[in-house]
Structure 1
């Protein structure tokens, strides 16, 4: 038992280090903006996203092989980059939008950071979905429910993300109507893409505790940041409610954490 606990602590220490670096980068963003101005937002956003995706990948590595982590990340990156390229060029499935030159570098008009952003929240969303669907019998029903809850957890996060990224000038909507200037179809697109990617990569099982912590930190920090520092109280309220509901369902889900 003691050896098992020691091994678990060794496995978790890189996760905690990555989590700490990520949290510090989020705290530093509004401070850096206050000191240096809006010009630092793209660079600080990139740094924070890279720290978060690193924490997610390290957390996945506690239950997966390195090869599986790399393969899943590659598939997620290809699929989500393709979805974003399709969306920004045709309007399907998110609606009519276009990236600005705020996030660099880009390929075919899509910032290379975007697939990392998908991965950094898909992992935590899988942890939520794993907990919510744990009591369902294994098979098609559980797989479909797992993909659906993963999609819902991602769409809930986008209630924060899209208004904030639009306010920062990272992308623009052709018709800024609906949810604080974001068309409602965008959230359907997020749900569909996240659910389809999840169904394709079939990520079960995942390390629930560290990934749930990441989901919870995003839930809290984005609510505080958007309301207190970025003047986006409305999206902060709705994102807090939606992500909070999914997180509560995940924590109350079947099985031990």
Structure 2
């Protein structure tokens, strides 16, 4: 094993362990019906797993951390503007549930932006501007789960309500706008994380667990959110899996052709 491959393998192993720990924390939180007490741990494990996978996939741990930090900063500024002015998401405010807070924004929120931002960029198909746009859509799709779940926990409140489980349409428009900026930042700092299996796996695990959670675990269950979120995130997971299968098949065929030529 070369030094380069060793540097990539270690973060990938760490990312796998962290992802398994995140899944376990999700299961325990659902089994104990204590989602509120486990939220911070789940988000921290999610973010750490995404960064570790990104470091392993690119071989550039420093750049992976920088990309995560930059996205978290973008997320924090967007949330700060949101609670202060209602732009770009609509009028909302955080409660005291998520702590600690910095200027009325829970610190864990930008951590979530950073972790899922890397995952959404990795799972999005295409390249260049196409990946930036589809990555933004993939990240916004996650909020079809996130907002209803956090409203259940009482983590924040929408001042005027909305059409989707009391969430206004402006929220999703704002998410798409901020997500476009997030994808642009990642594209500029860590473009080679595109298509990486590790961060894409983080996205897939979140899609599956949130779908199962809303359909079967949460009380009361919410099939509308399970279907809407599951389909929205599931499309990206299916496309990514199919792309991976196609790529492996192409590699296998190429190897067999080389063997025949020899």
TM-score range, shorter chain: 0.7 to 0.9
Q: How does 1:175-254 map to 2 (within 5 A)?
A: 175-201=160-186, 202=188, 203-206=190-193, 208-230=196-218, 231-253=221-243
* Partner SS state of residue 224, structure 2: helix
* Partner SS state of residue 173, structure 2: helix
Shift of 1:3: 6.3
Q: Which residue of 1 aligns with 2:152?
A: 167
Q: How does 1:111-126 map to 2 (within 5 A)?
A: 111-126=106-121
Q: CA RMSD in A?
A: 2.1
Q: Which residue of 1 aligns with 2:14?
A: 14
Q: Which residue of 1 aligns with 2:131?
A: 146
Shift of 1:10: 4.4
Instruction: Determine which of 56, 70, 78 is the counterpart of 2:73.
Output: 78
Task: Check if 1:92 corresponds to 2:87.
Answer: yes
CA distance in 2, matches of 1:114, 1:212: 20
CA distance in 2, matches of 1:218, 1:41: 15
Q: Is contact 1:133-1:253 (8 Å) kept? A: no
Shift of 1:11: 4.7
Q: Is contact 2:71-2:185 (8 Å) kept? A: no
Q: Is contact 2:88-2:171 (8 Å) kept? A: yes
The structure with more radius of gyration: 2
CA distance in 2, matches of 1:188, 1:64: 35
CA distance in 2, matches of 1:60, 1:53: 11
TM-score with structure 1 length normalisation?
A: 0.86
Q: Which runs of 5+ in 2 are unaligned?
A: 249-262
Q: Mean alpha-carbon deviation: is it higher for 145-154 or for 71-80?
A: 71-80
Q: Which runs of 5+ in 1 are unaligned?
A: 34-39, 135-141
